[in-house]
Amino acid sequence: SFIFPQILNSPDFLRYLNPKSQPSSISSMDAVNSLDVVDETTSFQVKSFFESAPLLKDADSISGKLTQFIHQNFSLPGPRRVVCVTSGGTTVPLEQRCVRYIDNFSSGHRGATSTEYFLKSGYSVIFLYRRGTCQPYCRSLPDDPLLECFKLTSDSSIQVHESHAEAVKSAISGHHDAVSGGYLLKLPFTTIFEYLQILRLIATSMKILGPNAMFYLAAAVSDFYVPWESMAVHKIQSASGPLDMRLAQVPKMLAVLRKEWAPTAFCVSFKLETDKDILLEKADNALKKYQMHAVVANELSTRKEVVILVTKCGKVSVYRENDQSVVESPLIKLLVEKHSTYIRDTNA
């Protein structure tokens, strides 16, 4: 194993691997069901996760951009609603000088498309996305936009192919209007460490917005990871035979987001399964366990056609209207309505 034996046997690491192996002094906390407070086990795991995570590069620059974006939107008359849309999958590095990693499936289509519909509904969006995945306003472009949309003319200038002209114009103008108007802030991540550190920065900066803040957590986030301090530094060698690997559980950050980082925000999480027989039960569990305001349940093979919105009022299937439309259009409409009710009830 590339996880060093002394770390594997330490009580702290055993607790990472098996949260139920608690010292007796805090075992009574297992009984804590309600999320009025984050239980001690989760708090411990979260603290250890952040303390041992590699330092976030550009943390100051990200904080600066966030502060400016939130204050600008907060001071608009209204004030404007702000949603943090997460998109794409997180990676789990296997080496500190990373050559290999475990990935989570997500093209980023859901997050990018939802961002467009939130902007259209008058929200400002913080788009926390995996580098290289789908971007807002780009879904009508071909796979390799630069090489497929443009051509060189005889005098060596660049021209758009007629067939892609409309798609290119609408991508450039939609994106430009959102960014230059101060309504769209894009922040990239790759690893689970970057994702959770940036999410925490976003959530704490958005606290000031109270119930006008929303989290729309469509990213596919790793459930398991290798803690930084027990990770091999250099490329793992194959000479010593098969790789024996044990992963720690990523702490349940939804609980912390909901109760500590953003206690007044409207929170929507996603549940993806490939087995439809367990999907709704898992979505229900997430709704109750993390006290989400809504959970969007989807199955891998049908995720573009239908999603099920699970709230404490029941379950609603949301379908795309036809082959030309996208399921995010009716989904965001419904969520905006639910968010309005939430703001009204909170302010009442």
- Contacting positions for ligand PAZ (CB under 6 A): 106-110, 218, 220-221, 270-272, 298, 303
CB of 298 to ligand PAZ, least distance (A): 5
CB of 212 to ligand PAZ, least distance (A): 24
CB of 299 to ligand PAZ, least distance (A): 9
Q: Is 238 exposed, middle or buried (0-12, 13-18, 19+ CB in 10 A)?
A: exposed
The first and second tokens of residue 337, run together, are 């309505």
CB of 220 to ligand PAZ, least distance (A): 4
CA distances from 82 to 78, 107, 134, 339, 342 (A): 11, 23, 21, 11, 14
> Among residues 81 and 109, whose Cβ is nearest to ligand PAZ?
109
> Among residues 234 and 333, whose Cβ is nearest to ligand PAZ?
333
Which residue carries 């691997």 as its tokens? Answer: 17
User: Residue type at 17?
Assistant: L
> Among residues 90 and 205, whose Cβ is nearest to ligand PAZ?
90
DSSP per-residue string spanning 93-160: ESBSS-S-EE-----SHHHHHHHHHHHHTT-EEEEEEETTS--TT-TTS-SSHHHHHEEE-TTS-EEE
DSSP per-residue string spanning 254-295: HHHIIIII-TTSEEEEEEEES-HHHHHHHHHHHHHHTT-SEE
Residue 264: CB atoms within 10 A of its CB come to: 14
User: Residue type at 113?
Assistant: T
- What CA–CA distance (Å, rounded) separates 143 from 134? 10
The first and second tokens of residue 333, run together, are 């409409």
> Among residues 9 and 317, whose Cβ is nearest to ligand PAZ?
317
CB of 335 to ligand PAZ, least distance (A): 13
> Among residues 2 and 49, whose Cβ is nearest to ligand PAZ?
49
CB of 214 to ligand PAZ, least distance (A): 16
CB of 7 to ligand PAZ, least distance (A): 27
